[in-house]
Amino acid sequence: MQLAPDPIRASSHAPWVIVQVYHQNAAVHSSVVRELVIQPDVTPVPRMPDYIRGVMNWRGKIIPNIDLRLRLGMPCAQQELSELAGMITARAADHMAWMEELYRSVEERRPFTLTTDPHACAFGRWYDSFTTSNLTVAALLRKMDTPHKAIHALAVRVENLKADGKFEEAQRLVDSCRETTLTRLLDLFTHFEEAIMENHRPVAIIVNTCGTLAALTVDRVESVELIDPSSIQPLDDRGVESYSSVIRFIAHRSKGAGLVGLIDESQILDSAAAFLQPQAA
């Protein structure tokens, strides 16, 4: 069956709300958006699909809250944040073990065999590839760069001292770095874990479809943009089988900003019809 965009949605006069959901962009048509709010507290409801987070109070109305990540089959935000925090904890342990091995190599007068390249360790590889739009998190990451590089550079200095037979000086250097530079880096790791939790502020998009109100939780709102209706295409036309009825169309964003999936919020609400009840708009 040939799908066609809603004529209202195809209008170039009505913009789309561009959102981020698990590092991907999606768009909700502004004609159904009532309000954008920082995610409020949600009361869980038993025996609901996992993507229904529960109910929330919006302007005196109790409305369902739907997690768009889970509805699209993506990992939930808390799972992603927990995994990121766990990774940072593991990288902190890596560098404590690295420093201990450097000290032992001096004490036992043997070569140090772990990496001296700050870009080659597990943290360095992650650091070089990780991106974030959160200014607080980005600032913390930048602060990690200098002590992290200094720690790896330490091994080169220590190996040179060992080669010259200056083992006591090498030990003092390792002890000093462990008490200062490593401690600083470990503190930054801890602050980073706290920052990613504290700065995660998802947004609830209040939508109204055929008299039914609901909140769609997204990671963040990027912009409100017009989309050229001629760029809207069914996924099937591009040889892509849509795994979800929620996104059946894609479109080109303006100014070459890439492709975006168009959310059909009616499909989201219809899939939870057993739970949702019409609310007066």
pLDDT in tens, 209-238: 888 899 999 999 999 999 999 999 988 765
Q: What is the 3-state secondary structure (H, E, C) of the chain?
A: CCCCCCCCCCCCCCCEEEEEECCEEEEEEHHHEEEEEECCCCECCCCCCCCEEEEEEECCEEEEEEEHHHHCCCCCHHHHHHHHHHHHHHHHHHHHHHHHHHHHHHHCCCCCCCCCCCCCCHHHHHHHHCCCCCHHHHHHHHHHHHHHHHHHHHHHHHHHHHHCCCHHHHHHHHHHHHHHHHHHHHHHHHHHHHHHHHCCCCEEEEEEECCEEEEEEECEEEEEECCCHHHCEEHHHHCCCCCCCCEEEEEECHHHCCEEEEECHHHHHHHCCCCCCCCCC
CATH topology of domain 77-198: Four Helix Bundle (Hemerythrin (Met), subunit A) (1.20.120)
Domain 77-198 in the same topology as domain 16-73+201-271: no
pLDDT in tens, 4-60: 455 445 555 789 999 999 989 999 999 999 999 999 999 998 888 899 999 999 999
* pLDDT at residue 242 tops 80: no
pTM comes to 0.79
Domain boundaries, the chain: 16-73+201-271, 77-198
Residue range 16-73+201-271, CATH number? 2.40.50.180
